[in-house]
């Protein structure tokens, strides 16, 4: 069983999804540049983008943070590769982006749900935990 995400982890996840959505929107007319844009965003976030340049997936890129690596499932977002992205139709790519945007809005709802954030002991506010259903993770 994995621990619920902390407020800081959920915020990092939301920001990372925004980077992915922004990259997808910015490269809409040139889908081949999508993963290069993610690699650039990853480098900007002080992570190593080399995994993507070698044909890796979004999970290997580091752009989604370490928290997701230990979860007991693999979603289509974590497994997205450049080849898979390029094989999707424009409509399927748009559906993928729309799903991520929906999750970003949901995370904002979680963030604002102050009554359900739990702090243990003397934990800092950013270390408060929230029960996020696995189905709502990317």
Per-residue pLDDT tens digits for 9-41: 888 888 888 888 988 888 888 888 888 777 676
* In the predicted structure, residue 49 carries a pLDDT above the cut 60: no
The first and second tokens of residue 62, run together, are: 């580091």
Radius of gyration of the chain (CA): 15
pLDDT at 74: 67
| 105 within domain boundaries | yes
Burial class (CB in 10 A: 0-12, 13-18, 19+), 124: exposed
Q: pTM of the predicted model, to two decimals?
A: 0.78
Whether residue 66 is predicted with pLDDT greater than 70 in this model: the reply is no
| Residue 33 vs residue 42, higher pLDDT | 33
Q: Which residue has the higher pLDDT, 68 or 84?
A: 84
With contact defined as beta carbons under 8 Å apart, do 58 and 77 qualify?
yes
Give the contacts of 9 (CB within 8 A, at least 6 positions apart). Answer: 65, 67
In the three-class reduction of DSSP (H, G, I as helix; E, B as strand; rest coil), residue 57 is classed as strand
Q: What is the pLDDT of residues 80-131, one digit of tens each?
A: 888 888 999 999 999 999 999 999 999 999 999 999 999 988 888 888 999 9
1: in domain: no
138: in domain: no
Q: Does residue 82 belong to any structural domain of this protein?
A: yes
pLDDT the model gives residue 99: 93
pLDDT for the residue numbered 121: 87
- Residue 136 included in any domain: no
Q: Which residue range(s) make up the domain with 109? A: 7-131
Number of domains in the chain: 1
Residue 118, strand partner residues: 129
């Amino acid at each position: 069983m994995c621990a619920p995400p902390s407020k800081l982890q959920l915020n990092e996840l939301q920001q990372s999804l925004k980077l992915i959505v922004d990259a997808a929107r910015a490269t809409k007319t040139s889908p081949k540049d999508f993963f290069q844009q993610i690699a650039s965003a990853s480098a900007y976030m002080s992570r190593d983008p080399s995994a993507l340049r070698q044909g890796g997936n979004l999970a290997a890129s580091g752009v989604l943070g370490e928290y997701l690596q230990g979860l007991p499932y693999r979603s289509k977002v974590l497994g997205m590769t450049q080849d898979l992205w390029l094989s999707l139709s424009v409509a399927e790519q748009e559906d993928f982006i729309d799903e991520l945007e929906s999750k970003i809005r949901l995370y904002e709802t979680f963030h604002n749900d102050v009554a359900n954030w739990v702090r243990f002991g003397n934990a800092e506010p950013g270390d408060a935990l929230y029960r996020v259903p696995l189905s709502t993770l990317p």
